[in-house]
Amino acid sequence: MTGLMIVGIAMVVFACAYLGYGRWLVKTWGIDPNAPTPAVRKEDGQDYAPASRFTVFAHQFSSITGAGPVTGPIIAAMFGWAPALLWILVGGVFFGAVQDFTALYASVKNDGKSMGMLIEQYVGKTGRRLFLLFCWLFTLLVIAAFADIIANTFADYTKAGALNVPGAQAATISMLYIVVAMGFGLFIKKFQPSGIVKLAVAIVLVIAMFAVGMRYPLYFDVQTWRYVTFGYCFIAACLPMWLLMEPRDYLSSFLLLGMIVGGVLGILVSNPAINMPAFVGFEVKGKPLFPILFITIACGAVSGFHSLVSSGTSSKAIANEKDMLPVGYGAMLCECLLGVVALVIACSAATGGVLPQGTPFQIFAGAIGGFFQMFGLPAGVSACVVTMCVSALAMTTIDSVARIGRMSFQEIFAPAEGEKQSAFVQKMTGTIPSTLITLFLAFFLCLAGYMNIWPLFGAANQLLSALVLISLAVFLKVTGRKGWMLYVPMVFMFIVTMTALVMSVYGIFTKLSAGSFVFMVDGLQLILALALMTLAILVVKHCGKELVTGKAENSVKA
C-alpha cells in the first residue's frame, strides 16, 4: 500500500459520504431554504450576524481544525496505519461529521441556542447546568493546552537552544493577522464586496503579511508569548464576531486549506512508500489499542469540542439552512482528510517500522516543508509557511474556545423562565468579568505545560462527544425525527472515554503510592478527571431518562 492509494481511498470515501450519507441526513430531518435563520432574525452585530456560506465554512473549519488532526494520527500510527486509517474513516463519516452537523442543525432550528440551552429546552434546567459546567471546565483545558502550544511555537529559542527564526517570523505574521483581520472585517462591513473582490483582497493581504513577517521577526520568550496569547483570547472573546473572528478565520482558511492541498499534491507527486506495518499489535509500549486509539485520534474522527463551535458560534452566522450541510458535515470531512495526510506523512517517514524522532508537529512540518520546497519554495520561506500553518491550527481554535468558555460561564448562571438574577450575578456574568474569570483559571492550568494537560484534554474531549450525542438524540426524538443513527456512536464513545478516564485516575493514584505525585500537575488533573466523570454520569442520567421515557411530540418539532 502506497501513500497515494491511502489518500485516494480516503478522498473517495469522504466524497461518497458527503454526497450520500450527508444528503440523506438532510432529507431525513428536513430543511427549509426559505425559513429565516437565527442569524437573520436575531442579528445584533455581536454574536448573531449572517455571513456567506464560505465565510461560515471558513470559521467552522478553522475553529475545529486544531492540533488534533495532526498529532492524533501520528501518535496512533504506533499501532500500525490500518487501525488509525479505519478509525478516521469510520469515525469521521458516522461519528464526527454526524455530530457536528446535528449540533449545527439543532441549534439553527432552535434560535441559535448552544448545546447547554438546547439541553434545558429538551431535558431540563438541571441537565443544562450540569452540561454547561462540564463544557466550561473543558474549555479551560483547551485554552491552557493550546496557549502553551502557541507560546512554545513562537518562543525565541528552541528547546535545543537554537534561535527560532521561523517561529519568530510566524509570530509577527500572527500578530499582523489580528490587526489586519479587524481592518478586513470593517472593510467587509462597510463596502460589502462581492465574493471575487473579497477573495482577491484576502490573498493580497495574506501575501503582504508574510512578506512583512519574514522581514521583521519578533523574538520573545515563552512566558511573554503566553501573556500575549491570553491577551488575544480576551479580545477575541469580547469583540463582535464580524470584527475579528470571522475575518481572521476567513484569512486563516487559506493557510489551512493550502496546507491540505500541499500535502495531497506532495503525496500525489512523490507517492511515498508506507514504511510502517498495517498492524503492530493490540498493545504497544504498554498502551492497549482500546481505548487509547479512540482517544488519541479525536479531532480527526470525532471531537466533542466541534459541537460547541457548531452550536456556539457557527449557528449564529448561518444565513440559509442549505448552508448547514457543507458547514457542519463538509468541514469535518476536510479535517478528516488532513488526519489521513498526517498519517501517511508519518508512516512514510518511518524507518524499519519505527516512527522518526521528534514531536508530531516536527514530523509533519518537516514533510510538508519538503513538499513545498519540491514545488519551488526556498527553504527559509517554506519553514516560515509551515510554522505559520501549524500555529494557525492552534490560534484559530483558541479564540473560538475563549468565546465559548465565556458564553458557557454566562449560561451556567442564566436564569430559567420565571427566575430572577441577583445584581451580583448579573455583574459577575457580564462579558468582561466572565471572560476574565475563564482566562485566569485557564492561565493557571497553562503553567502545568501542554504535555501534562493533553491526556486529560483528549479524554474529556471524547467524553463531551458522548454527552452531546445523547443530548442530540433526545432532541431528535422529542421533535419527532429519526435518531437511531446516533445510538451506536454515543454508547461507544461513552464506554471508550469512561474507560480511559478510569485508567488515568488509576495511573495518578499509582504515582501517589509511589511518592512521585506532584499536586500542581497530578493533583489538578485528578480533581478535574473526577469532576468530569461525575458530571458526565449525571448528564447521562438526566438525558438517558428523557431518551428512554420521553415521548415524541411532533407538535414541538422545530
The whole-number pLDDT of residue 450 equals 66
What average pLDDT score do residues 295-306 get? 88
Mean pLDDT of 370-393: 81
| Spatial CA neighbour of 397 closest among 312, 293, 500 | 312
Cβ-contact 473, 172 below 8 angstroms: no
Retrieve residue 260's grid coordinates.
491540505
For residue 553, pLDDT beyond 60: no
Closest of 280, 430, 408, 405 to residue 355, by C-alpha: 280
What is the pLDDT at residue 184?
A: 96
How far apart CA 546 and CA 478 sit, in angstroms, is 9
Give 441-487 as a DSSP string. HHHHHHTT-HHHHHHHHHHHHHHHHHHHHHHHHHHHHHTT---GGGH
Longest dimension (CA), the chain: 67
How far apart are alpha carbons 390 and 170 in whole angstroms? Answer: 9
Q: Is omega for the bond preceding 240 within 30 degrees of 0, making it cis?
A: no
- Coil, helix or strand at residue 208: helix
Question: 250-264, 352-366, 450-464: which has the highest mean pLDDT?
Answer: 250-264
Reported as a pLDDT band with limits 50, 70 and 90, residue 357 is confident
Give the C-alpha distances (Å, rounded to integers) separating 383 from 43, 69, 379, 393.
Answer: 42, 20, 6, 16
Reported as half-sphere exposure (CB side, CA atoms, 13 A), residue 373 has a value of 14
CA separation for the pair 444, 88 (Å, rounded): 33
Helix 68-76 with 360-374: angle, nearest 10 deg: 110
How big is the CA angle at 523 (ends 518 and 525), to the nearest 5 degrees?
115
Contact in structure between 210 and 202 (CB atoms under 8 Å): no
Which amino acid does the sequence have at 187? F
Q: Is 437 exposed, middle or buried (0-12, 13-18, 19+ CB in 10 A)?
A: middle
Name the 3-class secondary structure at 230. Answer: helix
Question: How confident is the model over 533-548, as a mean pLDDT?
Answer: 85
Buried b (16+ CB within 10 A) or exposed e, 229-266: bbebbbbbbbbbbbbbbbbbbbbbbbbbbebbebbbeb
| Confidence band of 104 (pLDDT split at 50, 70, 90) | very high
Q: Give the confidence band of 229 by pLDDT, cuts at 50, 70, 90.
A: very high
- Determine the pLDDT at residue 550: 67
pLDDT at 501: 85
Distance CA 47, CA 55 (A): 15
Q: Give SS3 for 428.
A: helix
Predicted pLDDT of residue 440: 93
Predicted confidence (pLDDT) per residue in 418-468, tens digit:
678 888 888 999 999 999 999 999 998 888 776 667 667 777 888 889 999
Q: Which residue has the higher pLDDT, 544 or 235?
A: 235
The segment with the largest mean pLDDT, out of 143-157, 311-325, 417-431, is 311-325
Chain segment 45-70, per-residue pLDDT in tens: 778 989 999 999 988 998 888 777 88
pLDDT band at 554 (very low <50, low <70, confident <90, very high): very low
Report pTM. Answer: 0.85
The burial of 201, by beta-carbon neighbours within 10 Å (0-12 exposed, 13-18 middle, 19 or more buried), is given as middle
Task: Judge whether 349 and 367 are in contact, CB under 8 Å.
Answer: yes
Output the pLDDT for position 521: 64
Q: Please tell me the distance from the alpha carbon of residue 105 to that of residue 22, in angstroms, as a whole number.
A: 12
Q: What is the pLDDT of residue 436?
A: 96
